[in-house]
Amino acid sequence: MTEKNHTEQEWKEKLTPEQFDICRNKGTERPFTGEYNDCKKQGIYQCICCGSTLFDSKSKYDSGSGWPSFWRAITSDNINQVTDGSHSMKRTEVTCKSCDAHLGHVFEDGPQPTGLRYCINSASLKLKENS
């Protein structure tokens, strides 16, 4: 069975209440509060729900937004980008392709070479530090 097939109850048991709210109910952590906002450690950021490889610390930068920000995903094969019209804004939601976890949003005001800013909730991520 794939991670995608977890029931709501199973996700509740697997995740903390905050992780569940953000990843499974598209919540947003308060800015400047997340574990990885200021994190400068080197490694690979994985999906907290399923472990899928999402972002490399090498593409993390300080956007000043209060959320971990990356100028690219490790591979577009592991994420989905979905138009999100909630809260009267037109945004592009980023989700984990393997388990559908809500990760955050992507904006077009990031640094070169991509010009993208993946604005991601710490609660959706797990850093696997380089050894």
Closest separation between CB of residue 48 and Fe ion, Å?
8
Give the interface with Fe ion as residue ranges (CB under 5 A): 47, 49-50, 52, 96, 98-99, 101
Closest separation between CB of residue 83 and Fe ion, Å?
20
Between 24 and 60, CB nearer to Fe ion? 24
Between 50 and 116, CB nearer to Fe ion? 50
Q: Which is catalytic among the residues 23, 47, 49, 119?
A: 119
Question: What would the two tokens of residue 93 be?
Answer: 């939601």
Half-sphere exposure of 124 (CA within 13 A, CB side): 31
23 is catalytic: no
Contacts of 24-27 with C-beta under 8 Å, sequence gap 24+, read 24/49, 24/101, 24/102, 25/102, 26/86, 26/93, 26/102, 27/102, 27/121
Question: What would the two tokens of residue 14 be?
Answer: 């697997």
Closest separation between CB of residue 22 and Fe ion, Å?
12
Between 9 and 88, CB nearer to Fe ion? 9
Residues forming the active site: 119
